C-alpha cells in the first residue's frame, strides 16, 4: 500500500503555487501535486522497420505538427540511426539509441559504446527495458552501471523499470520497483539527464494498458521513493514517464494524471500520425 504524501509544501512538486489534489490509489487517498516537469515522449521503434518503412515513417513525422514545449525522442534500430539522423526534423525530434555497452570502447564484438553514440551525435539512450532484462539477462546492477557509464559519457538516459503480472498479483510489485530504483540510486550521481520510464511488463505489447489510476499510483510511489533517497529538489524535477501499450486513444486520459510526465511508446511510435497525436497529448504540461 502507498503511504499518504505529506501536505507540506516541501513535498509538493516545484511550482509557483502548490496545488494538492486527491487521487485514489489501491483503496487509499493520496495527496499529490500537479507536475511541473517538461513533458517527454519517446518512441521506441525496437527491432522493426526496413529502409522503405523507415523512410515513410520519417516523412510522416516530419509532416506532423508537434508542440515545441515537449521533448520528443525517436529510437530507431542501430542500422537506421544514420539515415534518421540525416533526415528527421531536428527542430522537432531528438535521437536515442535503444541500448549501449556497459563500459567504453574495446574488444566487445557486437556492442556499441556510449562514447561512440556521443561521438556520432546521438544524445539519448534507452537502458533497462524489460525486453533487455528478460531476453538478455540484464539485472538491476547491470542496468545501473550502464546508466552511470552512459551519463558519464555525456548521454541522457531513459532508464526503464517495471514489474511482471505475477509480481503485481503476488503483492511484491513495490519490492521489485524498490530494488530496480535502489540500484540506480547506488550508481547515479547526477540525475539531471535521467528520465525514469515506468513500464509494467504485463502491459507491453499486449494491448492491455494500466488504468490511469494504476499508472498514477506507481508514478507517485516512484517519486516518493526518489524524494526519500535523493531529496525533494531532485524528485520534483525528475521526469517519470509511462510506457505500456500507450496509443493515440488512451494517451490523453493518461496525460491528465499529475505524476505522469510523458510516455515511452512502442508499437504506436511506428505509425507517424499516431505518434504525433501522442506528442500532442501534453496539453498544458508543454513548457515553452
Cell numbers standing for residue 131: 525486453
Q: What phi and psi, each to the nearest 5 degrees, are found at residue 198?
A: -85, 115
DSSP conformation class of 64 = S
Q: Give yes or no for residue 276 having a pLDDT over 50.
A: yes
pLDDT of 288: 78
101 with 135: CB under 8 angstroms?
A: no
Question: What's the whole-model pTM score?
Answer: 0.89
pLDDT of 102: 98
pLDDT of 262: 98
How many CA within 13 A on the CB side of residue 255?
26
pLDDT of 281: 96
- Say which range, 14-23, 51-60, 199-208, 254-263, has the weakest mean pLDDT: 14-23
pLDDT per residue as tens digits for the range 82-128: 999 999 999 999 999 999 999 999 999 999 999 999 999 999 999 99
Domain boundaries, the chain: 38-281
Is 19 or 212 the better-scoring residue by pLDDT?
212
Is 21 or 276 the better-scoring residue by pLDDT?
276
End-to-end CA distance of the chain: 37
Q: Which residue has the cell 509544501?
A: 9
Q: Give yes or no for residue 260 having a pLDDT over 80.
A: yes
Question: How many Å apart are CA 99 and CA 260, to the nearest integer?
Answer: 24
Question: How many Å apart are CA 2 and CA 29, to the nearest integer?
Answer: 9
pLDDT of 28: 39
pLDDT per residue as tens digits for the range 56-95: 999 999 999 999 999 999 999 999 999 999 999 999 999 9
Active site members = 129, 199
Residues with Cβ < 8 Å from 41, sequence gap 6 or more? 70, 71, 72, 73, 241, 262, 263, 264, 265, 275, 278, 279, 282
Read off the pLDDT of each residue in 280-287 and give the average, rounded to a whole number. 90
Q: Give yes or no for residue 158 having a pLDDT over 70.
A: yes
217 with 26: CB under 8 angstroms?
A: yes
Of 241, 258, 271, nearest in space to 41 by CA: 241
131 with 197: CB under 8 angstroms?
A: no
Is 208 or 219 the better-scoring residue by pLDDT?
219
Q: What phi and psi, each to the nearest 5 degrees, are found at residue 249?
A: -90, -30
Which residues lie across from 125 on neighbouring strands? 97, 157
Q: Give yes or no for residue 13 having a pLDDT over 70.
A: no
Of 252, 216, 250, nearest in space to 26 by CA: 216
What's the CATH fold of domain 38-281? TIM Barrel (3.20.20)
27 with 53: CB under 8 angstroms?
A: no
Question: How many Å apart are CA 275 and CA 81, to the nearest integer?
Answer: 18
Instruction: Give the range with max mean pLDDT: 15-19, 29-33, 210-214.
Output: 210-214
37 with 237: CB under 8 angstroms?
A: yes
Q: Give yes or no for residue 248 having a pLDDT over 80.
A: yes
Question: How many Å apart are CA 207 and CA 248, to the nearest integer?
Answer: 12
Q: What percent of the chain has pLDDT over 90?
A: 80
Other Cβ atoms within 10 Å of 56 Cβ, number: 14
Of 44, 18, 56, 4, nearest in space to 236 by CA: 18
Q: In whole numbers, what is the pLDDT of the chain averaged over residues?
A: 89
Rounded to 10 degrees, what is the CA torsion of 67, 71, 74, 78? 150
pLDDT of 238: 96
pLDDT of 198: 97
Amino acid at each position: 500500500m502507498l503511504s499518504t504524501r505529506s501536505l507540506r509544501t516541501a513535498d509538493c512538486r516545484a511550482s509557483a503555487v502548490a496545488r494538492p489534489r486527491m487521487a485514489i490509489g489501491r483503496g487509499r487517498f493520496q495527496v499529490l501535486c500537479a507536475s511541473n516537469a517538461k513533458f517527454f515522449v519517446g518512441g521506441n521503434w525496437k527491432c522493426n522497420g526496413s529502409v522503405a518503412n523507415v523512410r515513410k515513417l520519417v516523412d510522416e513525422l516530419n509532416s506532423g505538427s508537434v508542440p515545441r514545449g515537449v521533448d520528443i525522442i525517436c529510437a530507431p534500430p542501430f542500422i537506421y540511426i544514420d539515415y534518421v539522423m540525416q533526415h528527421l526534423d531536428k527542430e522537432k525530434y531528438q535521437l536515442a539509441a535503444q541500448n549501449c555497452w556497459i563500459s567504453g570502447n574495446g574488444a566487445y564484438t557486437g556492442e556499441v559504446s556510449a562514447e561512440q553514440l556521443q561521438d556520432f551525435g546521438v544524445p539519448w539512450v534507452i537502458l533497462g527495458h524489460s525486453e533487455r532484462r528478460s531476453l538478455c539477462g540484464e539485472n538491476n546492477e547491470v542496468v545501473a552501471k550502464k546508466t552511470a557509464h552512459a551519463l558519464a559519457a555525456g548521454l541522457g538516459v531513459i532508464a526503464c523499470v517495471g514489474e511482471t503480472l505475477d509480481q503485481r498479483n503476488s503483492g511484491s510489485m513495490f519490492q521489485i520497483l524498490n530494488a530496480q530504483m535502489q540500484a540506480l540510486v547506488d550508481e547515479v550521481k547526477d540525475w539531471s539527464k535521467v528520465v525514469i520510464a515506468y513500464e509494467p511488463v504485463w502491459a507491453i505489447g499486449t494491448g492491455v494498458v494500466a488504468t490511469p489510476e494504476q499508472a498514477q499510483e506507481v508514478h507517485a510511489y516512484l517519486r516518493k521513493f526518489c524524494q526519500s533517497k535523493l531529496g525533494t529538489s531532485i524528485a520534483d524535477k525528475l521526469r517519470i514517464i509511462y510506457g505500456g501499450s500507450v496509443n493515440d486513444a488512451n494517451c490523453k486520459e493518461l496525460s491528465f494524471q499529475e505524476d505522469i510526465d510523458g510516455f515511452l511508446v512502442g508499437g504506436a511510435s511506428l505509425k507517424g500520425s499516431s505518434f504525433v497525436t501522442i506528442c500532442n497529448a501534453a496539453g498544458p504540461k508543454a513548457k515553452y
